[in-house]
């Protein structure tokens, strides 16, 4: 290909004898959006680290040529000099510095070490305009939402005369509106001739913007699909990713819904910091035995706040309302009380709130219910091992034994450990907050199967998700939360993405 900007040929890389990349070929054409997809562990991040020089030349096998030149990067600064800029999933901005300071961090507009703030602000303004962000260059990063921060990362890349922009899961923590804005910006950059590599799990977004899709599996390129000729169906991409046909993305289940078990009445929660701000404004909900109930809503609608405030007042202050179990009011004032009443909350942030990463699977599994494996406060290691092993098998956690440390597991397996922990506390009501965030298609299906299984065992499942197809595929009933209120409720048969979005949009601003 004559007009290719980047060619990577026969890239191989291994860690301590374990192959991460066995043979990757990647060609990115000029001014195209090139999507890279693959399951977790397929080698996407490793490949990008090779490309950006995190792994220096010599650390891997194969050739990289950029703009027709053979490249041997020794570090990130080498690749940045060439105009290859990577934006990681975890944003690398300094929260308490201003936009302008962040954009020119390490590249200050200075003469003899003295910063020329006028130039910096002027240039920042121009860059912000380019990315479509109306903020003062002096605004602090910490006051901006994740979506805006992402745009600032892109502005920062533009300040370095980027020729190839790499985005690693840029929309993972963005809501739909922000995601759309970001994708729109990518298309705009493409028109200006900037090539872009987009790593994402969200196939619908890729379908919107990508010109080419490269699929990685087990550290090798399995397909490179040209979307300009004909639209590529999601199922086809998934088939390449998992190496098999994914007939159904959600397990079949026959709902067996019983009587009303769990009920929350007139729930009101105030903001954790600002006591006068009502975050949840009087929510009523109920979950029946064996039912999976979804909560849809945009980022910031108050979904996590609602769940965590119910679970032992873990969020917010001045909380009021009633929680009922089997028609009787229960006290969920502390996490321990909530657990004792059979409520479990599986967090959306498994690394931050779910796991003690340095510890083992067994250790994490029993953490919320240590009493069950101990007598007189002395832990019986045999019982602990038995319990953890049982859940390892039941949930199919891929690890040789339960003594593997959580930090070494993939996202999907970590999520299963968090689930194990809560299943081991023997709950009647499970609140799942984004149960499949950031995990790959195959692991998602397994999580769905577990959720379906729990419902069939008669548990009540309350499932929060940003992915509407997931809610539509799994739930018997869906509440729509917007700005701290339920604005609609749909049965599975009635619900559709359009209806949910419509209810959110029409309720806005009230």
Among 18, 6, 142, 174, which residue's Cα sits nearest to residue 86?
Answer: 6
The residue from 23, 180, 218, 234 that contacts another protein (CB under 8 A) is 218
Binding track, positions 382-401, relative to another protein; x by CB under 8 A: x--xx-----------xxxx
**Whose Cβ is closer to another protein: residue 23's or residue 108's?**
23
314 binds another protein (CB under 8 A): yes
Stretch that binds another protein, among 170-178, 297-305, 406-414, 475-483 (CB under 8 A): 406-414
Q: Which of 59, 331, 381, 457 binds another protein (CB under 8 A)?
A: 381
162-188 in b/e burial notation, b at 16+ Cβ within 10 A? bbbbbbbbbbbbbbeebbebbbebbee
Let me know how many helices (H) and strands (E) the chain has, helices first.
16, 24
Both tokens of 379, joined, read 């832990």
Among 5, 36, 41, 283, binds another protein (CB under 8 A): 41
Which residue among 1, 2, 3, 18 contacts another protein (CB under 8 A)?
18
371 binds another protein (CB under 8 A): yes
Q: Tell whether residue 359 is a contact of another protein (CB under 8 A).
A: yes
Q: Give the range of 74-82, 257-265, 307-315, 501-509 binding another protein by CB under 8 A.
A: 307-315
312 binds another protein per the rule CB under 8 A: yes
Dist. CA 241–CA 232, nearest whole Å: 13
225 forms part of the interface with another protein (CB under 8 A): no
Dist CA 426 CA 441 (whole Å): 27
286 burial class (0-12, 13-18, 19+ CB within 10 angstroms)? Answer: middle
Q: Which of 37, 189, 232, 409 binds another protein (CB under 8 A)?
A: 409
Nearest Cα neighbor of 301 from 38, 485, 149, 151 is 485
Identify which of residues 8 and 387 has a Cβ nearer to another protein in the complex.
Answer: 387
**Total residues binding another protein (CB under 8 A):** 60
Smaller CB separation from another protein, 63 or 380: 380
Contact pick of 30, 67, 115, 242 for another protein (by CB under 8 A):
242
Tell me which residue has tokens 């990508």. 210
| Interacting residue with another protein among 68, 231, 352, 509 (CB under 8 A) | 352
Contact between 336 and another protein (CB under 8 A)?
yes
CB 286 within 8 Å of CB 263: yes
Determine which residue in the list 8, 29, 36, 39 makes contact with another protein, applying CB under 8 A. Answer: 39
Within 8 A by CB and 6+ apart from 400, the residues are none
- Pairing verdict, β 343-346 and 429-433: parallel
Place of tokens 């002096």: 138
Nearer to another protein, 113 or 382 (CB): 382
Binding residues for another protein restricted to 131-160, rule: CB under 8 A: none
CA distances from 311 to 298, 306, 339, 431 (A): 21, 9, 8, 9
Helix axes 117-130, 146-159, angle to 10 degrees: 110
Tokens 């090539």 belong to which residue? 195
In the shown chain, the binding pattern of residues 198 to 217 toward another protein, with x for contact by CB under 8 A and - for none, equals -------------------x
426: contact with another protein by CB under 8 A:
no
Tokens of 171: 């929309």
Joined tokens for residue 228: 């300009």
**Out of 1, 3, 17, 112, which residue is the one contacting another protein (CB under 8 A)?**
17
The yes or no reply on residue 250 touching another protein (CB under 8 A) is no
Strand pairing class (292-296; 460-464) = parallel
Q: Is 347 in the site for another protein (CB under 8 A)?
A: yes
- In the complex, the residues that contact another protein under the rule CB under 8 A are 15-19, 39-43, 217-219, 242, 311-312, 314, 334-336, 338-339, 345, 347, 352-359, 363, 367-368, 370-371, 374, 377-379, 381-382, 385-386, 398-401, 403-405, 408-410, 412-413, 421, 442-443
């Amino acid at each position: 290909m004559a007009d290719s900007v980047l060619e990577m040929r026969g890239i191989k890389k291994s860690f301590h004898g374990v192959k991460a990349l066995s043979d990757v070929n990647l060609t990115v054409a000029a001014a195209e959006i090139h999507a890279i997809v693959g399951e977790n562990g397929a080698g996407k991040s490793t490949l990008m680290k090779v490309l950006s020089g995190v792994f220096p030349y010599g650390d891997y096998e194969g050739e990289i040529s950029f703009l027709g030149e053979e490249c041997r990067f020794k570090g990130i600064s080498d690749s940045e000099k060439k105009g290859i800029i990577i934006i990681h999933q975890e944003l690398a901005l300094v929260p308490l510095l201003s936009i302008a300071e962040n954009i020119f961090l390490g590249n200050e507009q200075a003469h003899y070490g003295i910063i020329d703030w006028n130039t910096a602000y002027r240039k920042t303004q121009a860059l912000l305009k380019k990315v479509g962000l109306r903020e003062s260059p002096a605004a602090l990063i910490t006051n901006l939402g994740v979506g805006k921060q992402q745009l600032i990362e892109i502005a920062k890349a533009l300040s370095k005369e980027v020729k190839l922009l790499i985005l690693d899961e840029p929309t993972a923590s963005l809501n739909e509106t922000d995601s759309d804005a970001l994708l729109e910006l990518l298309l705009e950059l493409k028109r200006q001739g900037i090539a872009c590599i987009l790593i994402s799990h969200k196939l619908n977004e890729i379908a919107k913007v990508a010109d080419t899709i490269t699929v990685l599996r087990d550290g090798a390129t399995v397909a490179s699909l040209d979307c300009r000729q004909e639209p590529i169906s999601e199922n086809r991409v998934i088939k390449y990713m998992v190496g098999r046909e994914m007939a159904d993305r959600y397990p079949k289940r026959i709902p067996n819904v019983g009587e009303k078990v769990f009920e929350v009445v007139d729930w009101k929660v105030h903001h954790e910091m600002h006591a006068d701000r009502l975050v949840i404004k009087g929510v009523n909900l109920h979950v029946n035995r064996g039912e999976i109930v979804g909560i849809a809503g945009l980022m910031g609608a108050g979904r996590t706040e609602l769940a965590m405030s119910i679970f032992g007042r873990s969020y917010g202050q001045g909380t009021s309302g009633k929680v009922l179990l089997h028609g009787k009011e229960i006290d969920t004032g502390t996490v321990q009380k909530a657990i004792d009443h059979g409520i479990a909350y599986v967090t959306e942030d498994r690394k931050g709130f779910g796991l003690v990463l340095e510890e083992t699977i067994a250790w994490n599994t029993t953490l919320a219910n240590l009493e069950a494996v101990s007598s007189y406060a002395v832990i019986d290691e045999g019982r602990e091992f038995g319990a953890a092993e049982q859940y390892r098998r039941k949930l199919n956690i891929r690890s040789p034994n339960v003594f593997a440390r959580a930090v070494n597991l993939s996202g999907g397996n970590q999520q299963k450990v968090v689930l194990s922990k809560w299943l081991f506390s023997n709950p009647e009501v499970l609140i799942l907050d984004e149960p499949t965030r950031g995990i790959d298609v195959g692991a998602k299906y397994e999580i769905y199967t577990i959720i379906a299984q729990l419902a069939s065992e008669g548990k009540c499942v309350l499932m929060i998700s940003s992915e509407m197809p997931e809610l539509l595929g799994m739930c018997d009933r869906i509440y729509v939360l917007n700005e701290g209120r339920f604005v609609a409720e749909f049965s599975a048969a009635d619900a559709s993405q359009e209806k949910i979005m419509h209810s959110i949009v029409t309720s806005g601003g009230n």
